Homo-oligomer: A and B are copies of this chain.
Amino acid sequence: MSKLENLLREFDLRATPGRQEVLQIFLNYDFALSHSDIEKDMPKEADRVTLYRTLKTFLDKGIIHKVLDDQGGLKYALCSHSCNHEQHNHNHVHFKCNNCGQTTCLDVHIPPVKLPKGFNISETNLLMQGICGNCNRS
């Protein structure tokens, strides 16, 4: 049984070829992907609707998490260990490079923010933009 199949089973998912394909695409890149990024990487006969459903399933199961985008779309990136069906547990900064366009998950924690009394926080999303390390170097 392949690595991809195992990974999907770990999340209580049937290891269909389509899902393995999408999972592999995420593994191939170290930055967040939009629906259309993924679509471009799939065999052309793949069905867009199935991809919608696959992404939704992956989100629900805690395989991937949403990455906000300043243009209003969404991107997706693989979760690290701590996520599952019950709870997503993300506390890292997302950085979008305005030069290369890539959005990456940084290994930097979002600092705690104190809100006024009465606010309960369940989720936090921090998107920073600018020029990334790679683009500055070149």
- Least CB distance, A32 to chain B, in whole angstroms: 13
Report the count of interface residues on A (CB-CB < 8 A). Answer: 40
- B115 near A106 with CB under 8 A, answer yes
- The digit string for A116-132, where 1 denotes a CB below 8 A from any CB of B, is 11111111111111111
A51 interface residue per 8 A CB criterion: no
- A113 near B93 with CB under 8 A, answer yes
A136 interface residue per 8 A CB criterion: yes
Task: Report the stretch among A8-16, A18-26, A40-48, A69-77 that lies at the interface.
Answer: A69-77
Give the distance in Å from the alpha carbon of A121 to the alpha carbon of B128 in the complex: 7
A31 interface residue per 8 A CB criterion: no
A125-B126 CB under 8 A given contacts A116-B106, A118-B132: yes
A interface, CB within 8 angstroms of B: 66, 68-74, 93, 95, 98, 106, 108, 110-134, 136-137
Give the distance in Å from the alpha carbon of A131 to the alpha carbon of B120 in the complex: 5
- B130 near A113 with CB under 8 A, answer no
- Least CB distance, A39 to chain B, in whole angstroms: 16
- B118 near A98 with CB under 8 A, answer no
- A108 near B113 with CB under 8 A, answer yes
Give the distance in Å from the alpha carbon of A118 to the alpha carbon of B100 in the complex: 14
